[in-house]
Amino acid sequence: MNYTPHTEEDVTRALAAIGARSVDDLFSAIPVELLDPPIDLPSGMDEVSLLARMRQLAEANARSSTLMGGGLAKHFIPSVVQHLTMQSEFVTAYTPYQPEVSQGILQATFEYQTMMSELTELPVSNASMYDGASAVAEAALVAVRHTGRERVLVSAGVHPETREVLATYLGPLDIELTTVALDDRLSTPRLQVGNDVAAVLVQQPNFLGYLEDMEPLAEAAHAAGALFVSVVDPLSLGLLRPPGSYGADVAVGDGQTIGNPLYFGGPHFGFMVVTEQLLRQLPGRIVGQTVDVDGRRAFVLTLQAREQHIRRARAKSNICSNHQLTALMATVNLAALGPEGLCEAATGSVAAAHQLADDLAGEGYRVRREANFFNEFVIELDTVESDKDALDPVELYSASRAAASALAARGVQAGIPVPSEYGLNRPALLLCATELTSAEERRRLVRAMSEVVPVSAGTGGRR
């Protein structure tokens, strides 16, 4: 296939107009030894063959379920969201640098910023970022710039991959990253915060699904002059206290749960919402309201003096784009759901997860529920006949992976192996449920689980 419109006659006419002999002639500025290297690509395909190949690749995967979480989950997205956001004008526009002909995207972004501000009860949202993990890293950098301090405290309850990204961003700037382990309840313990700490980062609900007691953690951060950064699942804010209400200075997270399909992990978007005092430290695009020369309300990219195309090496971040289209999907989705719908989706997720936990506990499985959980929780397994003390962390993790694979082999996509850093002494899976989880889906999991973790597996298989 080829999307160029040029006929042979066009090429001849254009070459004549510019006085060139051939198309190849146009590349004469390139040293000849660099031209036409061997490139190993198959021949092109027509549309039918392409779609056949793509379908072949798609069909070589098993569809996910609503039982997988770990930072992303399959939630209800009304059909209208895809229809509206796939309109050409939204999909094929560039960054709104000419505001007179970009009011569609600019206004939608202003609406997005308002909605994120409402969800978090913090006043200033940017126009979105790459993903939750890089947004958390940028939030830590906001705190470092604001406080002038060079140490960051992060709870182990923050998603492990988020912490990896955080380490990647902070390392080169010589900012020390200290991880606080979770306690026996799998939640963040009361913290001692030193006066050298720029930010305390805590995730709510945490990676393992459990609820943190955010207010005292925020107080501990503030008492030491640090900022408190709350990493949140925006869907949960239909039910849970908003970060602004417990004193968070920054709310960040991944927006997938409020209107983006999974897509194997992306694209989604990250969000960041801050207090007024952090406004000038905020990275990324921001849309503001103003008027045009006729006095009409209008929207425009603003506060650009923070950004790379103006400030170059002194910019607040090198970030140059937002994740406009995926943030727009969230905007339309939140408008479709409204306050009631968002609350219902969150409630349905909590209800389904608690039913699932009850189902499994009723069968005798070890469900960790020392702390309250939202829509994810940990189940510990005894899948091996050997004594549990004999397993080292690597073996434990392999056993957890084997359990998830065994479920998958039974057609049930469920359960994320719990990383060994959490120090559980049995293989364990992180399970999830959402408002889309059906009773049948729960039953299938319980049935598959009973095959994967047979009753005969010693004393541990069932309690």
Partner 1 sequence: MKRHPVLEREPDFPLIFERSRPGRRAAVPPAAADIDLAAALGDNQLRQDPPRLPEVSELDLVRHYTQLAHRQFSIDSHVYPLGSCTMKYNPKVHEEAVRDFQDLHPYQAQETVQGALELLFELQHDLATLTGMDAMSLQPAAGAHGELTGILIIRAYHRSRGEDERRRVVLVPDSAHGTNPATAAMAGYRVVEVPTGRDGQVDLDAFRSALSPSVAAVMLTNPNTLGIFERNILEISRLSHAAGAQLYYDGANLNAIVGRARPGDMGFDVVHLNLHKTFTTPHGGGGPGTGPVGVKGHLRGHLPVPLIRRDGNGFAFDYDLPASIGRVRSFYGNFGNLVRAYAYIRSLGLEGLRAVSGMAVLNANYLQERMKQAGYRLPFDGRCMHEFVAQPPTGLRTLDLAKALLDEGVHPMTVYFPMVVKEAMMVEPTETESLETLDHYAELLGKVLESAREDPERLAQAPFSTPVRRLDEVTAARRPILRFDFKESS
Query: Considering only residues 43-72, where is the footprint of partner 1 by CB under 8 A?
Result: 43-47, 50-51, 53-65, 68, 70-72
Is 372 a residue that touches partner 1 (CB under 8 A)? Answer: yes
Integer Cα distance of 157 and 131 in angstroms: 18
380 contacts 368 by C-beta, under 8 angstroms: yes
List 143, 191, 319, 379, residue binding partner 1 (CB under 8 A):
319
Positions 279 through 298 that interact with partner 1 (CB under 8 A): 279, 285-298
Is 87 a residue that touches partner 1 (CB under 8 A)? Answer: yes
Is 127 a residue that touches partner 1 (CB under 8 A)? Answer: yes
List 302, 398, 420, 450, residue binding partner 1 (CB under 8 A):
302
* Nearest distance from C-beta of residue 370 to partner 1, angstroms: 13
Positions 330 through 359 that interact with partner 1 (CB under 8 A): 332, 334-345, 347-348, 350-352, 354-355
C-alpha 459, offset from chain centre: 39
Is 185 a residue that touches partner 1 (CB under 8 A)? Answer: no
* Nearest distance from C-beta of residue 221 to partner 1, angstroms: 18
Instruction: Give 77 or 224: the residue with its C-beta nearer to partner 1.
Output: 77
Strands 176-180 and 151-155 turn out to be parallel
65 contacts 269 by C-beta, under 8 angstroms: no
Positions 149 through 178 that interact with partner 1 (CB under 8 A): 159, 161-162, 164-165, 167-168, 171-174
The encoded tokens of residue 241 equal 């206290």
Instruction: Give 339 or 362: the residue with its C-beta nearer to partner 1.
Output: 339
List 147, 275, 304, 450, residue binding partner 1 (CB under 8 A):
304
Instruction: Give 102 or 366: the residue with its C-beta nearer to partner 1.
Output: 102
Is 145 a residue that touches partner 1 (CB under 8 A)? Answer: no
Amino acid occupying residue 322:
N
Per CB under 8 A, the segment of 80-88, 145-153, 377-385, 448-456 that binds partner 1 is 80-88
Residue 292 C-beta-side C-alpha neighbours within 13 Å: 10
Q: In what order do the strands lie in the sheet with 124-125?
A: 124-125, 270-274, 250-254, 227-232, 199-204, 151-155, 176-180
Long-range contacts of 77-81 (CB under 8 A, 24+ apart): 77/259, 77/260, 77/261, 77/329, 77/333, 78/333, 78/336, 78/337, 80/332, 80/336, 81/259, 81/329, 81/332, 81/333, 81/336
* Nearest distance from C-beta of residue 322 to partner 1, angstroms: 5
* Nearest distance from C-beta of residue 7 to partner 1, angstroms: 9
81 contacts 336 by C-beta, under 8 angstroms: yes
Categorise residue 219: left if φ over 0, alpha if ψ from -120 to 50, beta otherwise. Answer: alpha
Instruction: Give 62 or 223: the residue with its C-beta nearer to partner 1.
Output: 62
* Nearest distance from C-beta of residue 336 to partner 1, angstroms: 4
Is 216 a residue that touches partner 1 (CB under 8 A)? Answer: no
The encoded tokens of residue 308 equal 């790379």
The encoded tokens of residue 289 equal 């309201």
Positions 382 through 411 that interact with partner 1 (CB under 8 A): 401, 404-405, 407-408
List 322, 360, 368, 441, residue binding partner 1 (CB under 8 A):
322
